Structure 1
Amino acid sequence: MPQDNVNSSSYYLSEEYLRKKRRRTRWAVFGLLILLIVLTALEIYIQGSHISTPIASNIAVLLIVNINIILLAILILIVAKNLVKLYLERKWKIIGARFRTKLVLAFVVLTFVPSLLLFLVASGLLTNSINNWFNQQIEKSLKESLDVVEGYYKSSGKNILLYANMMSELFYEKKMMNRENLQSLRNTVLKKRVDYKVDGILVFDKKLNLIAESIEPDLKNKLIADKLDPLLRRALKGEEVMEIIQIDNKSLVTGISIIKGEGLTVVSWFLSNEIVNKIKNIVSAFEEYKQLKLLKYPIKFSYEITLLLITLLILFSAIWFGFYLARGITVPIKELAEATKSVAEGKLDFRINVKANDEIGMLVESFNQMTSDLRAGKLAIEKANEELRKTNIEMGQSKGYIETVLENIATGVISIDSHGRVSTINQAASRILNVSPQNVRGEAYKKVFDASYLNPVRAMIKGMNEMENENAESQIRLMVSGRLLTLMVNVTVLKDWEGKYLGMVIVFDDLTELIKAQKTAAWREVARGIAHEIKNPLTPIQLNTQRLKKKFKEGSSDFENVFDESTNVIIKEVEGLKKLVDEFSRFARMPEPNPRPYNLHKIIDDTLVLYRDTRKGIKLLTHYDSRIDNINVDNEQIKRVFINLIENSIDAVNGEGVIEIKTFLDTGDKTVKIEVTDNGAGVPDENKDKLFLPYFSTKKKGTGLGLAIANRIIADHNGLIRVEDNMPKGAKFVIELSA
Structure 2
Amino acid sequence: MSHAPKPAPPPVQTESDATADPTAPAAPAAADTPAASASVRAAQRQARAVRWMVGVGLAIVVAIGLVLLFLLTLATNNRELYERHYPWLFGLNVLVAVLLLLVLVWMAARLGLRLRRKRFGSRLLFKLAGIFGLVGLVPGLLIYIVSYQFVTRSIESWFDVKVEGALAAGLSLARVSLDAMANDMAAKTRSASAQLAQVPDAAAGLVLERIRDQLGATDVVLWSAAGRPLASAGQSRFELNPERPSAAQLRLAHEQRMTTQIEGLDDLPPGVTAPPPANVKVLVLVSSPSVGLLVEPRYLQASIPLPPALIANAIAVQEANREYQERALARDGLRRMYVGTLTLSLFLAVFGAVVLAVLLGNQLVRPLLVLAEGVREVGAGNLSPKAALQGKDELGGLTRSFALMTQQLADARAAVERSMGEVDAARTQLQTILDNLTAGVLVLDAQGTMLSANPGASRILRLPLTEHLDQPLAQVAGLAGLAAAVQAQFDALQAEHAASDAPNAPNASDARPAGHWQQPFELHDAAGGTVQHPISLILRGAVLPGGAHLLVFDDITDIASAQRAQAWGEVARRLAHEIKNPLTPIQLSAERLAMKLEGKLAPPEQAIVAKSVKTIVEQVDAMKRLVNEFRNYARLPSAELQPLDLNALVSELLQLYGEENATVPVQADLDPRCPPIAGDAQQLRQVVHNLLQNAQDATLQAASGQAPPPPVRIVTRWNESSRRVRLNVLDSGPGFAQHILQRAFEPYVTTKPRGTGLGLAVVKKIADEHGARIELSNRVEEGVVRGAQVSLSFATTVSVAS
Q: TM-score range by the shorter chain?
A: 0.3 to 0.5
> Quick one: higher RCO (CA 8 Å, sep 6+), 1 or 2?
2
TM-score by length of 1: 0.40
Q: Which structure: greater helix fraction?
A: 1
TM-score by length of 2: 0.37
